[in-house]
Amino acid sequence: MKKALLLMASPRAGWSDGAAETLAEILAEKGVQVRTAAVREEEIGYCRGCGACMGRGEKACPMSGDGAQRLLSEMLWADGVVILTPNYALQVPALLKNLLDRLSFVFHRPRFFGRVFMPIIAQGIYGGRGVHKYLNDTMEFWGFRPVKGAVLQGALYPNEKLSAEAAGKNREKLGAAAGRFVDALNSERPKKPSFFRLMIFRTTSISRTRWSRTAPILRSAAGSTPRITIPSRSGPTSGFSARSRMPTSGGKRRRTRAGFSKRQII
């Protein structure tokens, strides 16, 4: 029996949660074991950008053990994950973005090969396609096989009534998306990765090695402010300030064991 996790990303129980309920019923009818989780029910701290998860492994994250790790475990339980999210300002809500930031180490240590991902977006008027693309691109980096989901008509207030036509269209789209998701779950042969995907995989793996060799976390004397160093192969002028993303002009340079020239930036 295939397993699916439906991850709800709205800060409220609204239209996308409603879609999760319907989708859960459809998937159960198709013989899929379904679990649901809501990002809003977890305590998840903001990513501080210290780089510990990239350089020393996710257990070194100062917030390791909070809800982000629990949701990652839930995702790893499933053969397929569906994220159901509203469109907020042409993007995902901050709750979900923060979860994706916190799990960014998965870009460098992808672990979802052979699994399926599908996005479902609820929106008022415009921008859902961009959100759909963003989520599928992100999850492909994580190793998932992305499937075309759906952009559904929602409304500003959860108890608003949709026209019969809009509600019917939503049901139709959700049914078709569920069909594609189950087909992908049951397909024996995953799609061959493109040359571009192989190249990206190689690049992210190399950057992971560089992180772990050359970006140790330097804690300040007080122990609270994490300090990071960014490796630079070509000397002082190629450093970038992590805060502004502008090239830096000064700063302390050090020589590492790996032979990179490093600049302390924070």
Q: Count Cα neighbours of 14 within 13 Å in the Cβ-side half-sphere.
A: 24
* CB closer to ligand FMN out of 12 and 133: 12
State the Cα–Cα distance between residues 266 and 264, nearest whole angstrom. Answer: 6
133: CB partners within 8 A, 6+ apart: none
C-beta separation of 162 from 153 below 8 A = yes
Q: Under DSSP, is residue 73 helix (H, G, I), strand (E, B) or coil?
A: helix
**Minimal distance, residue 214 CB to ligand FMN, in Å:** 40
Q: List the structure tokens of 36.
A: 């649901």
Write down the least CB distance from residue 75 to ligand FMN, Å. 20
Query: Which residue, 61 or 177, has its beta carbon nearer to ligand FMN?
Result: 177
The pairing of strands 116-123 and 145-146 is parallel
State which residue, 15 or 117, has the beta carbon closest to ligand FMN. 15
Cβ closest to ligand FMN, residue 51 vs residue 128 = 128
Are 123 and 85 in contact by the 8 Å Cβ rule? The answer is no
Cα distance between the two ends of the chain: 50
User: Smallest gap, in angstroms, from Cβ of residue 53 to ligand FMN?
Assistant: 29
Q: C-beta of 171: minimal distance to ligand FMN in Å?
A: 16
Residue number, 155 or 166, with CB nearest to ligand FMN: 155
Closer Cβ to ligand FMN, 15 or 112, answer by number: 15
Closest separation between CB of residue 152 and ligand FMN, Å?
A: 8
Q: Which long-range contacts (CB under 8 A, 24 or more apart) does 251-254 make?
A: 254/229
Residue 177 C-beta: closest distance to ligand FMN, Å: 16
d(CA 18, CA 260): 52
Contact residues for ligand FMN, defined by CB under 6 A: 10, 12, 14-17, 86-90, 122-127, 154-156, 158
